[in-house]
Amino acid sequence: MKYPIFKFICISLLLINCSKNESNIEPIPENIETEQNCLIEEIRFATSKYKYIYNNNNELHQIINTYNDNPTTYYVNKIANDSIEVGLIFADLSQDLPTLSAKYNGEKLIQLKRFYNPSTANIFSIEYTENKITVRQDYSNGISYQNISYADYFMDQNGNVSSIKLYVYDNNSPNNFTLYNEASYTYDNGNNPWKGVIYPTFLCQNLPNPMLFSQNNTLSETNNNTGTTNYYSYNYDENNLTTKGIDKYPYNVCSSAVTLDEYYTYTNCYGY
């Protein structure tokens, strides 16, 4: 089985000691909709971009990842009414085995598997309560099952993650997990283009960034262990759609911590 090298840059914010900085930027389920009734069409960085292509039912159909002008296409196949798979399309148009599989309950993601080979995967299980989302990460190689970590995402009344507590596996702890880090967040009132976007959110991380669950864009992120805060700002268009932001990937396992400007475009907007 062939697996592509995913070439995009992530940023680690919680598992490293962050220094205080300020940005100078100015102000799936299957159909990834913003609060303004749009579908995200493209997320673009300096040297790479992700383009999201939809079918006539506004269901995500393909994803094209372009890096240094070299495109790679991924299929998004609907497996059942509640599940999709994402994987590479080869040059002869045949399909590789899936890289990701996702299961939903309505529009809520309840399980995601990130495959390394057909029998080995990280498994993310997601539970929802009134004011909290819990994401548990486990590892399976087809023979054994290993606990890795979990996080509690505490939600505010506006549908944003106000704080997060990260726990890591510790067999010396009475409940096998130890609190590793805490962070808190503030938000603007603009749409968050990353909400519900599982690809590439789950490719280069352990646990997902709070932006996966939040309605709005992060203005500040405070590491409660160190007391340091990162600040962010955004550009918006005349309809208050977010058009420019900053790349922020905590729990990074693929690269050193860097920040990147990123740009967003939308399609199939209505209601204006």
42-80: pLDDT as tens digits: 999 888 899 999 999 999 999 999 999 999 999 999 998
Tell me the CATH number at 130: 2.40.160.150
Per-residue CA distances from 258 to 96, 230, 236, 244 (Å) = 31, 12, 23, 17
User: 239 is written with which tokens?
Assistant: 């309809």
In a domain, 126, yes or no: yes
Residue 145 has pLDDT above 80, yes or no: yes
In a domain, 23, yes or no: no
In a domain, 82, yes or no: yes
pTM exceeds 0.75: yes
In a domain, 3, yes or no: no
Q: What number is the average pLDDT over the span 120-126?
A: 96
Q: Give the pLDDT of residue 196.
A: 94
Q: Where are the beta strands (DSSP E) in 106-160?
A: 108-117, 120-128, 132-140, 145-155
- Domain of residue 130 covers 39-267
CA 229 to chain centre: 21
Q: Give the pLDDT of residue 271.
A: 63
Per-residue CA distances from 167 to 63, 162, 184, 207, 249 (Å) = 32, 17, 15, 11, 18
How many structural domains does the chain have?
1
Beta bridge partners of 95: 89
Q: Give the pLDDT of residue 27.
A: 40
In a domain, 14, yes or no: no
Phi, psi angles (nearest 5°) of residue 250 = -75, 170
Q: How confident is the model at residue 23 (pLDDT cuts 50, 70, 90)?
A: very low
In a domain, 61, yes or no: yes
Burial grade of 103 (CB within 10 A; 0-12, 13-18, 19 or more) = middle
Q: How confident is the model at residue 82 (pLDDT cuts 50, 70, 90)?
A: very high
